[in-house]
Amino acid sequence: MCVNLLFCLSNNAVPARSQGVSESRARNPPSPAVCQPEDVLPFETRDPALLRSLFARHPAASLYLWSDLVEPFFSRCRWFVTGDAALLWFGGLSEPSLQTTGDAGDAAELVDQLHAVLPQEAWIKVPPAHEPLFARHFTLTRRSELTVMLLDGPVPEVPGPVRRLAPGEPLEPLLELYSAYPGHFFEAASLEGNVYYVAEQDGRPVSIAGTHTAAPAEGVAVLGNIVTAPESRGQGLARRCVAAVARELDSLGCRLTGLHVDSTNAAAISCYRGLGFRARTALVQAWASPAGLPPV
């Protein structure tokens, strides 16, 4: 057992899973524990160079993790590493998320050692080989399979008006647009540090594309929250918005740009392929809750 790591965590005000998850805990992970690599493996780290070198070995599966190495995202993260695997606990949204990347055997050690001090409920997004590692300790529901697509070459210019959103943008029209897509991950904080474009009709947004995380300093970005109002589909609006986002990311120096798309969404995959994105790997997304409790 990784006693020293668990001691560091428990002395850093991380409640055990049986105590539940407070609202503040769900929004922001506790401050990093002081636990050095030479003490024990797995270990917690705040070393971007160490994390960057690991992500570079698994770029497609590590998009989200890699792009979280910059602010405002980095301070909302906790990172755990052993061997050739990393686990990210992200608390920047109203519901926490857990992501893993790297070798499945090393990831198993991370999950087995840490599961008791991770959030009681969280979204997980992991390689398929890592899903059974979480299933040993959590009940997994609301499962979906995602295709990871990376941009492979320049993005064509798509004609048509779009507008770049700015921090402080009125949220009500945007939330109304997203309301047609239950389960979306757009929140007020989503505009901070990110790139969003909208297409508008009669003064209201009818299509939007943005980034979950954008890290030009790392050369990495992840597109997401891409939706079109049901009555405005079939006009190429999402294609226009995605192209605008991707072209700006390229101008900012992002050379590893990708997105996650539901593997059953053939229309979206075709749209992204037409803009130069190519499928590279797969991930599983699911809602993790305490093992033994009935699914919600």
Query: Are 256 and 165 part of one and the same domain?
Result: yes
How many CB atoms sit inside 10 A of residue 255's CB?
A: 12
Please state the separation of Cα 263 from the chain's center in Å. 16
DSSP state of 243: H
Report yes or no: 63 and 148 within 8 Å, Cβ to Cβ. yes
CATH number at residue 188: 3.40.630.30
Report yes or no: 246 and 90 within 8 Å, Cβ to Cβ. no
Query: Are 128 and 9 part of one and the same domain?
Result: yes
**3-state DSSP call for residue 268?**
helix
Comparing CA positions, the residue from 70, 117, 127, 113 lying closest to residue 89 is 117
- Give the per-residue pLDDT at 221: 97
Query: Are 191 and 238 part of one and the same domain?
Result: yes
How many CB atoms sit inside 10 A of residue 99's CB?
A: 25
Query: Are 142 and 212 part of one and the same domain?
Result: no
Query: Are 190 and 249 part of one and the same domain?
Result: yes
Query: Are 142 and 160 part of one and the same domain?
Result: no
- The backbone torsions φ and ψ at residue 252, rounded to the nearest 5 degrees and listed phi first, read -85, -5
Query: Are 138 and 161 part of one and the same domain?
Result: no
- Give the per-residue pLDDT at 16: 28
Cα separation of 56 and 101, whole Å? 11
- The backbone torsions φ and ψ at residue 49, rounded to the nearest 5 degrees and listed phi first, read -65, -40
> Across-strand partners of 88?
79, 99
DSSP state of 167: T
DSSP state of 17: G
For residue 296, tell me if it sits in a domain.
Answer: no
Query: Are 34 and 69 part of one and the same domain?
Result: yes
Burial of 268 (C-beta count, 10 Å sphere; 0-12/13-18/19+): middle
Q: Which residue has the tokens 């926490």?
A: 96
Comparing CA positions, the residue from 88, 78, 93, 5 lying closest to residue 41 is 5
The number of C-alpha atoms within 13 Å of 8 and in the hemisphere containing its C-beta is: 21
Pull the structure tokens for residue 274: 């037409």
- The backbone torsions φ and ψ at residue 187, rounded to the nearest 5 degrees and listed phi first, read -140, 175
- The backbone torsions φ and ψ at residue 102, rounded to the nearest 5 degrees and listed phi first, read 105, -160
Q: Quote the number of domains for the chain.
A: 2
Residue ranges, the chain, pLDDT below 50: 1-28, 31-40
The number of C-alpha atoms within 13 Å of 29 and in the hemisphere containing its C-beta is: 25
User: Nearest 5°: CA angle at 112, between 111 and 116?
Assistant: 85
Q: What amino acid is encoded at 251 in this protein?
A: S
Q: State which residues form the domain around 199.
A: 153-275
Query: Are 134 and 157 part of one and the same domain?
Result: no
Pull the structure tokens for residue 140: 């997994």
- Give the per-residue pLDDT at 39: 44
CATH number at residue 114: 3.40.630
